Chain A
Amino acid sequence: MHDIYIEIFNKLGIPTVLAEITWPVIPFIFVAILLILVVIFLVLMERKVLAWLTVRKGPNRVGPFGFFQTIADAIKLLCKEDIMSKDTNKILFTLAPMIVFAPIMIIYGLMPFTEKFVAINLAAGLFLVFALSSITTVGIVLAGWASNNKYSLLGGMRSAAQAISYEIPLVIAVLSIAVLAGTLNLSDIVIAQAGGFSDGAFFSWNVFSWNIIPAFIGFVVFFICSIAEVNRIPFDLPEAESELVSGYNTEYSGMKFALFFLAEYAAMFIMSVLIVTLFLGGYLSPFSDYLSVTLFQNIIHNQNILYIFMHIEQGFWLIAKTYFVIFIIIWIRATLPRLRADQLMSFAWKFLLPLSLVNLTIVAVFKYFSTLMNG
């Protein structure tokens, strides 16, 4: 994305120096706006889908189909009083929502939304994603401890206990992807999933070379763990509202609460993008070629326009797959009750961890033979 950014500046006649200085800032503002838009849509989608699953109508008063309901809620949260109870640790109490929110924001910059739309294309991108997403747990523990509320404390502690148990199977499941792709760069992982399994009209579809096929067990493990990672039902122990009132965010109000809220939904979106990137071919079209390119190449001969079409389609495929994954997460929320903390831990240690190791073995064998066959 860096080159495109500088190229745009050059074409507009702005000096390259200025472009180099503003490089991380303006794209990140862009990413931030994207994030907020995504969350606003996501909250609405969740409420609508949940309403549909539970025989209700959902928000339908503010704007068409309740479209502006989330915006109204956001304005309400911004206008609310920022309450801080007497004996809270003021510094940590203020810091905690930021610690939860900031890493997720950075992960957005790492994601390959299309072939070129990657704000930071790092060689160790995958590693950094998990390093950053683990930081949010620290924020939650801090929030729980700094609130000086017993429910919050229990919520924070649960979050820490939970993180230790599910992050190991999560990372081992991801390891299998690193084995398959032979790289930790997220863009390269996506590109490695292109091509299908042989030449031919049908078998050259990209679907057949998605990582989900060799690493299906890994996909299941990763999916379960990522629900735990974003603290959603059935793993929403840190904020189990029927047990811990609201868990770690009980004492928060106003904008600080909004940051937690935003972070939760942003994390849900980013985890879905990650699932899609690692297992479902990322921005790749499921077919052998991009539909828009195939359709328009006889009509439009300008390569640049075709290129733009291709990018839009890549974005479309990514968003479509992501929202499909999100839909399943919401569906799970509507179906399952909450697990108990110790049950989650034994589930993660005794079931998911062995499963992820089995997956790693299968993938390693698969990789060995496929390289052998391809020479």
Chain B
Amino acid sequence: MALESTLNKEMIINVGPQHPSTHGVLRLVMTLEGEIIKDTKPVIGYLHRGLEKLAESRNYFQYLPMVDRVDYLSSFFCSAAFCYAVESIAGLKVPKRAEYIRLITMEFNRITSHLMWLTAFLLDLGATTPMFYAFREREDIVKLFEELTGQRMMYNFYTFGGVKKDLPEGWMTKAVDLCKSMPKMFDEYEAIITKNPIFMERTKGVGVLTQKMAADYAITGANIRGSGIDFDLRKTNPYSVYDEIDFKTHLAENGDSYDRYMVRIAEMRESVKIIEQALKQIPGGTPERLKVKSVNCGCKKEDCEFCGFDVQLVGKKLNAAVFKPPVGEVISMIEAPRGVITCYVVSDGTNKPYRVKWRTPSFSSVQLLPELIKGKNYSDLMPIFGSLDVVLPEVDR
């Protein structure tokens, strides 16, 4: 009889790398006593692609499409982090219109990423319906992205000094319409999730992340805002044009899974407001209007409202092969949906980066996981791990 006796004995269980709810290829080696988790060891690296090393053998423009793969659910943010880093080494100025386009796409991307998190989180808890609802809205946004960039994921849209294309005609009207309909959709999710007694039972008081723990593990993003730490790079260190936008950061008090959920829902609503403002404030207005006006104007003056620098897409046309930023190193930080994504670029004056280093928020969250779930029921793994919003390509790079 080869069956192992499990009576009065700790059981070691391998959750993943292929498991329905480890969000990709995370492997957790768990020691269970009955259903109580005694110990957890995350084993990462199943999705390691060597994105940092690959940068060293490619020039800046060749590396640009790869950056999107750091986190496939929020490609724009990774792209933006790298672009801002290179721009600040090379001293490139970005036109305001390009910054606004970046901001709009980033905030839309934040919504898609949060929606994707919502589906995965609720699916882990056993609720299937919110998944279909969330995917319905995600599809609308992804269609906008497709129209703009030609891709549904991995957009490769930002470039050094701006963005690759202007908004297509009619895009802004669609975006405005979507922004109008979106809050109703969020109401729909909240109706089925927020006050759901079983959902509250599963998530309230579960996986409490204290402020000290958050600081110790360098957790960022919605996870610490759920614990009541007011840290949002968009506010504290405004990159892009966030300083021209009026928005709030949402905090919660208890730091449990439910609070992290509430913060993310509130963030999605806030993102819609940000996009609405940005669509109004964008220099040059709609692309249709801009085209007509700039042809009529044709003055090519720096401060012209319709054909000056601020309404351009790219500050400076760069030659990919000979683009050589000066010697230097820089860190750029972006408030991505999962937390602060940091890109460290060292340039040695050649057309290839000397070193690129990514510091990603999910990596910290995975480290936090063993401490959060120690002594909890095995069923609590899902509400805790799900609420941390871990995406594996971001952990492994």
Question: Interface residues, chain A, CB within 8 Å of chain B?
Answer: 50, 53-56, 86-87, 89, 145, 148, 150-151, 153-154, 158, 233-234, 236-237, 240-243, 245, 333-343
Contacts and interface: CB of A to CB of B under 8 A. Distances in A.
A54 B201 CA distance: 24
A286 to B, nearest CB: 31
Interface in B1-36: 1-4, 6, 11, 13, 19-21, 35
B202 A54 contact: no
Given A337-B202, A339-B201, A53 B378 contact: no
Specify the main secondary structure of chain B where it touches its partner.
Answer: helix
Contacts of B382: 242-243
B129 interface: yes
Contact of B126 (A86, A148, A338, A341): A338
A335 B126 contact: no
Nearest to A87: B2
Interface in B179-211: 192, 196, 198-199, 201-202
A334 B131 CA distance: 11
Contact of B133 (A54, A145, A337): A54
Interface in B128-143: 128-129, 131-133, 136
Interface residues of B, number: 35
B13 A339 contact: no
B381 interface: yes
Interface string B365-397: 000000000000111111000000000000000
Contacts of A342: 377
A240 B132 contact: no
21 contacts: A54-B131, A55-B132, A55-B136, A56-B132, A86-B2, A148-B2, A148-B3, A240-B379, A242-B21, A242-B123, A242-B382, A243-B378, A245-B20, A335-B129, A337-B122, A337-B199, A338-B125, A338-B126, A340-B202, A342-B377, A343-B202
A367 to B, nearest CB: 33
B124 interface: yes
Given A89-B3, A154-B35, A337-B127, A243 B199 contact: no
A56 B139 CA distance: 14
B129 A53 contact: yes
A341 B381 CA distance: 13
B380 A340 contact: yes
Contact of B198 (A89, A151, A236, A337): A337
Contacts of B3: 87, 89, 145, 148
A54 B132 contact: yes
Interface string B331-370: 0000000000000000000000000000000000000000
A359 B1 CA distance: 49
A337 B126 contact: yes
Nearest to B127: A337
B388 to A, nearest CB: 15
Given A243-B21, A334-B128, A341 B379 contact: yes
Contacts of A237: 379
A39 B324 CA distance: 69
B35 to A, nearest CB: 7
In this complex, the member of B20, B133, B379 whose beta carbon has the largest number of chain A beta carbons within 10 angstroms is B379
